[in-house]
Amino acid sequence: MCIDNMRIFMAREAHPQRTAALISIREHVARLGTVEGQRAARELFPAIGKPTWEGWCRVVRLGDRADVEPLAESFAVTTRPITPITAGVELRGFEFDQRIAEMDAAARALIDVAWPVDPETRRRGRVKNPMLLKAAHAALAQTAGLVVKHQEAAWSYERCLERMEELVDTASAVLKGAGDRELTGKFIQALGELEARWANPGHRYGRGVSPARAAPDF
C-alpha cells in the first residue's frame, strides 16, 4: 500500500516526444493556421494518442511555452526603476506618542465591545466576550510597557541624576562665592521640593503614578 501511495505522488515523466510535438504544432500553426497546422503536425506523430495530442494542441493555443523555451527566458527577472525621493515628498517622523494613543484607543474600543456600557445607566453590564476582554487588557498592558521602555531610553534616570548632581555642585559653588545666605536658603529649599517630587518613581519615566480608583461606569 505504501508503494502504491508513493507511485501516486511521484511526478509523471513527460512524454519523450512532447517537446518536439509542441514545437512542430507551433511552427505548423504559424504557417498554415490552427486547423491545417494541427493536422499537418499530427501526421508527423501518428503514434500519439488522440487525447494526448489534443492536450498538446491546447497547450499551444494557451500560449504555454514553458516546456520549449529556455529556462532563463521563462524565469526572466523583471526590474523596475527606483523612484528617487523628491523635494515634494513630505517626510514624516515616527510620531511615537500618536501611535501609542491610537493603540490605546483601539484597545479601549475592544473593551467597549467585549464589555459594553448600558446607554441608559452609563454603567457596564455583563461581559459579552471574555476572551476579547482579556486580549484588550493585554493590549493595554503592552502599550504601557512600550511607553515605559521608550521613556527609559529617552530619559535615563542615571544620566539625569548625574546631570542634576553636577548642576547642584556648580550652583552651590557659585552661591558660596557670592556670600548671599538668603538666596542660598531659597535654592536649597527649591532643591528639597524637587527631590520630594522625584521621590515618586513614576517621575523617573516621565509618567506620574497615582492610586487606582473605580471608574464611574462600573
**pLDDT digit string (tens) for 122-153?**
899 899 999 999 999 999 999 999 888 887 77
* 16: amino acid identity, one letter: P
Tell me, yes or no, whether 147 lies in a domain.
yes
Q: Are residues 146 and 164 in the same domain?
A: no
Q: Give me the pLDDT at residue 173, please.
A: 80
Q: Give me the pLDDT at residue 2, please.
A: 42
Q: Helix, strand, or coil here: 110?
A: helix
Tell me, yes or no, whether 75 lies in a domain.
no
* Domain membership of residue 100 as a residue range: 93-154
Instruction: Count up the domains in the chain and report the number.
Output: 3
Q: Are residues 198 and 147 in the same domain?
A: no
Tell me, yes or no, whether 211 lies in a domain.
no
User: Is the predicted pLDDT of residue 42 greater than 80, yes or no?
Assistant: yes
Q: Are residues 190 and 179 in the same domain?
A: yes
Tell me, yes or no, whether 28 lies in a domain.
yes
C-alpha 2: how far from its chain's center?
43
* pTM exceeding the 0.85 threshold for the entire prediction: no
Partnered with residue 124 across adjacent β-strands are 117
